Chain A
Amino acid sequence: MSFGKLVRLSRIIDPSDGRSLVVAADHGLMLGPIKGVVDLEATLRKVIAGGPDAILVSLGQARKLSHLFAGRGAPAMLVRVDWTNAFRDKTYTLPARSIQFNKVATVKEAVKVGASGVVTYLFLGFDGESDHIAMVEEFSSECKTWSMPLIIEPLPMGPRVTKANYVDMVRRAVEKAVELGADALKVPYTGDPYSFKDVVKAASDVPVLVLGGYKALSIRDSLEVISEVLDAGAVGVVFGRNVVQDPNPDEVVRLMRRIIHEKETVTDILREKIKPPVKILVDVERCSGCRICELACSFSHEKVFNPSLARLRVKVSEDGKTFTPYVCNLCYSCVNACPNEALRVNSRTGAVEVSPELCQGCGICVDSCPVKVLKLINGRLLLCDLCNGLPECVKWCSRNALRVEGGW
């Protein structure tokens, strides 16, 4: 690799730990004025406060916002040099009818605005592949001329991509990108660490960054993905909407840094946020009655799927109009009702615990529970232990109908 490329790449991937956190903010070009990029300067100021290694922008924004990238400690600038209509889905007036793409900047222009790298797509699976590869090859040779790191984003795209071949297509696209001279890759996560290890292997030592895509339901989901891909061999991520569409981009970047550069785990971060007693909050309006909480609870505690073994319950109203989750609300009626003092409160989580040697199985506690989530089955008391502080029901709820105070 040329010296110029090495120097520039070192601004993107931190040489001290070989890791990188890039925030993508080039959506205006492909997706239009989505949330978070309308007043891009305001958003990026917050992003920068969190300390990303680099930010990906279009050439136009690079010129407008050059001041954000100037000065010591400022993030490195990456410039998107191509455009495509492929992401123009049904959110827009008319979805794309065939995949189009174009160069929208030269590497020379990227040098002039002070970029440390350029980013281009490489699609595999559609009719225009040969023209597309020719375009990427042109970028590749321009990058050689200007000693500019080339970051290729290999993506399966188009009619020949299926559910069955998707993972294989990612791997093949990555191989092609490497052949075309990528200095780093921006790759979609294949969804599981096993197949992703193969993808990293296919990159043959070219650093792999993972893209974020559509905004996750909760920041916890994106942090978990980051943690998982790092374990599978990625050096970092290029996350956009999960950062810029969050109300607090600075906080998100800080949390992502902790995973990427400080090597903390998601559980560590969560435990720090949630202060005992761990209180599960219920939003009845949001509940759809899906019972995933009951399944997750039954499986976590009993290793079987049976909602009737869950430590919480969802009640459908008589008229069918509302679904109400009932969870242990830490009222401790059961603790007070127990004649044998078999129940006590865990000081760390606030959950009720039972001493099996003291419990007589009399069921008085069950009758005392105002929300009827205590169960006595074959002499065994089933009670909510708050999953040691990180409730599974909350984690699996896709609608935020269940939340933990202070958590996500």
Chain B
Amino acid sequence: MNLNLSGRGYAGVIVKLDLSSGRVEKVALSQRDALMVLGGKGLGSLLLYNSVRRGVDPLSRENPLILATGPLTGTLAPSSCRFSIVTKSPHTGLFLDSNCGGFFGVELKKAGFDAVMITGKASQLSIVVIDNGDVYVEDAKWLMGLKTMEAEKKVKDRLGEEFRVLTIGPAGEELVPIAGIFTDQRCAGRGGAGAVMGSKNLKSIAVRGEKPITVYDPDGFKKACWRAHRRIRMHEVTARSLPIYGTVNIIETINEAGALPTKNFKTGVFQDTWKISGYEWRRELWKKDKACFGCPIACSKLAFTSDYIVDGPDYETLWALGPLCGVSDKEAIVYANWLCDAYGVDTISTGVIVSFVMELYERKILKSEDLDEVNAKWGSSEALLKLVEKICKGDGVGKELRLGVKKLSIKYGYEDIAMHVKGLEMPGYEPRASKGMGLGYATSDRGACHLRAYTADKELLAYGGAVDPVKVDGKAKLVVDYQNEKALIDSTGICFFASFALSFREIGEMLATATGLPLDEADTLRTIGERVYNLTRLFNVREGVRRRDDCLPRRLLEEAMPEGPAKGSVVELDKMLNEYYVLRGWDENGVPKSETIKRLNLDLIISLED
């Protein structure tokens, strides 16, 4: 039996667009796939796995750009704005999903689609318009070279204010591997999805929808949603910390735990953190709280300056363009944030690149003449801004820097201090001071990512009970649990931050009443999360990923943390990794065993041949 999923939280339709031929194909979302992988990240991963062969060039016509919503996207479920961008990453050459908020995903579902899959390449710079079920391609030469906010505005001016617009900046057009995709001042930043869009000659995707989203059991769903909202209104993180200080609320705590990576991960302690605390931002630059669609938390903070508005900085951006480079100058950080947003690059990768360059400069391996006369000293906000601008615009040495630290370290050597995993630059939690985060980076499906297993909440912030951050005992289990949970959350359409206050039972209640499918049991959801995480692993394994790739830079494995609460610590990765593979049901080389694949019924939805 195959139910029509339309009217059950889902739109029920996936649209496939081939830009080369202009062909549009609409297929029904199957009940089996919905039960197996739900939507969002799960659905995107399934579509990606089944549509490409091993070794496909991420910037080729074959690589699909997939935008997928979840069954809760666009409903009254808290923070129901999320959708996932899934593709093969040009930065890592591996699986990539980037979960994004704003208003775009909701509009996509209202236009009648759960997911869009775009392949091929347009003959010239184009825009895809999705207008209430109609999908067509328009020429967009008039958008060439525009900054993200300019492009978004121009598209709206032309098509209508109600349209929601995804767009890339100049960096995406230039196929920069750290280019992101932007919408409503929010960003699917990591891993270079912007370059994939650019490779398709696609500047923007605009969507407008008027179709109402309906659910299976409206009364039950409304009650379940209200209970979830009430939970969020009664939880410290979602009712106080995030609404007031955004994600920056944690920066001082992270620093005091010795886990704030500073000066390219030389240390985990930054002396000037107090200058850039949430309190200081709120006092000086942040003038407005801004929410994504359907979000009771509103973690975005708008900084108003005389020339521009920046949505941010959030914790990661602040850290990458601040402490990581030794910088504590708020005006410089906020301008660097604006530059990255405008030209369309990932702030985390940009910051890690700048800090890598600064360390090589301080060690006199790079001289200012190598850097177009920039004196890349630690803490120099002038150097930060010059280098960020070069990366954004591809000026001079920026052309090379924007390729990422992995490529730079291959050229200059010093791979031990190139802070990346699988090519993706590392985010803002020091693995030597939070071992679970270290294992999480090493085993994350898209390269170094803090959001695949956010163990920092127990290791550093002590929400729901503390775990000794420096010990490795039990960390493998923690990381496995968290990765599975996060994969589930990213497949529902609600935001990870909302899930801070919710148990799977509460999420299950919303899913079951919305879809009418048996999704209420916590264990069912946990299994879906585990299935999705194994699915992305299988994608990477098909591309050749093995144990040797689940690694961390040598600095973290061999150089003892010089100061702070984690003083003397290094990451005992092998020990954790052995335990992790056993818990995962993967062999000692990191490949999912056939019994694991069978247990999760993955063999029913994917073909395991190359």
Contact = CB atoms under 8 A, between A and B. Distances in A.
B125 to A, nearest CB: 26
Max chain A CB contacts within 10 Å: which of B227, B233, B481? Answer: B233
B230 interface: yes
B214 A191 contact: no
A265 to B, nearest CB: 15
B485 A289 contact: no
A103 to B, nearest CB: 20
A163 B502 contact: yes
B233 A292 contact: no
A376 interface: no
Nearest to B470: A97
Contacts of B293: 290-291
B461 A90 contact: yes
Interface stretch (A64-72, A211-219, A324-332, A382-390): A211-219
Given A192-B227, A398-B232, A89 B304 contact: no
Contacts of B234: 213-217, 221-222, 225
A99 B465 contact: yes
Contacts of B507: 163
A163 B483 CA distance: 12
B76 A299 contact: yes
A238 to B, nearest CB: 15
Contact of A191 (B74, B239, B506): B506
B240 interface: yes
A168 interface: yes
B212 A309 contact: yes
B177 interface: no
Contact of A398 (B75, B233, B522): B233
Nearest to A85: B466
Given A164-B481, A164-B504, A166-B504, A216 B233 contact: yes
A168 B522 contact: yes
Contact of B294 (A123, A127, A157, A295): A295
A95 B249 CA distance: 14
B153 to A, nearest CB: 10
Interface stretch (B12-20, B53-61, B295-303, B531-539): B295-303
A303 B218 contact: yes
Given A90-B253, A321-B304, A296 B525 contact: no
A226 B390 CA distance: 58
B82 to A, nearest CB: 14
B140 interface: no
Contact of A164 (B243, B466, B522): B522
B465 A192 contact: no
A289 B522 contact: no
A315 to B, nearest CB: 11
A214 B240 contact: yes
A96 interface: yes
Contacts, number: 203
A311 B49 CA distance: 44
Contacts of B526: 162, 164
A190 B503 contact: yes
Determine chain A's interface SS by DSSP, over half rule. loop
Given A163-B504, A164-B522, A299 B461 contact: no
Interface string A288-309: 1111100110111011111011
B292 interface: yes
A321 B288 contact: yes
Nearest to B489: A163
A303 B214 contact: yes
Max chain B CB contacts within 10 Å: which of A88, A95, A126, A159? Answer: A159
Contacts of A323: 290
Contacts of B302: 320-321
A100 B144 CA distance: 60
A90 B250 contact: yes
Interface residues of B, number: 80
Interface residues of A, number: 69
Nearest to B211: A306
A320 to B, nearest CB: 6
B280 interface: no
B230 A159 contact: no
Interface in B449-491: 458, 460-469, 474, 477-478, 481-482, 484-485
A296 to B, nearest CB: 6
Interface in A177-235: 190-192, 194-195, 213-218, 221-222, 224-225
B257 interface: yes
B475 to A, nearest CB: 8
A163 B492 CA distance: 15
B417 to A, nearest CB: 28
Given A216-B233, A304-B212, A295 B465 contact: no
A74 interface: no
B523 interface: yes
A93 B256 contact: yes
A279 B290 CA distance: 26
B599 interface: no
A305 to B, nearest CB: 4
A267 interface: no
A151 interface: no
B575 interface: no
Contacts of A168: 522
Contact of A162 (B76, B236, B243, B481): B481
A191 B76 contact: no
A158 B212 contact: no
B263 interface: no
A83 interface: no
A94 interface: yes
Interface string B262-298: 0000000000000000000000000111111111111
Given A214-B235, A217-B239, A292-B76, A299 B218 contact: yes
Nearest to A216: B234
B469 A161 contact: no
Nearest to B300: A288
B472 to A, nearest CB: 12
Given A157-B465, A192-B509, A218-B233, A296 B213 contact: no
A16 interface: no
Nearest to B233: A217
B465 A126 contact: yes
B505 interface: yes
Given A95-B461, A291-B294, A296-B76, A306 B309 contact: no
Nearest to A123: B465
B574 interface: no
B229 interface: yes
20 contacts: A89-B462, A94-B257, A157-B465, A159-B465, A162-B482, A164-B485, A166-B503, A190-B505, A191-B502, A214-B239, A216-B230, A216-B239, A217-B234, A221-B234, A289-B291, A290-B291, A295-B75, A306-B110, A320-B309, A398-B229
Interface of B: 74-76, 110, 185, 210-215, 218, 222, 224, 226-236, 239-241, 243, 249-250, 253, 256-257, 287-298, 302, 304, 309, 458, 460-469, 474, 477-478, 481-482, 484-485, 499, 502-507, 509, 522-523, 525-526, 565
Closest 6 A/B residue pairs (Cβ): A398-B296, A290-B291, A304-B212, A95-B462, A288-B291, A158-B465
Given A289-B290, A399-B296, 14 more contacts: A90-B241, A95-B460, A97-B565, A99-B466, A126-B465, A161-B465, A164-B522, A192-B224, A214-B240, A218-B233, A300-B222, A308-B210, A322-B288, A399-B298
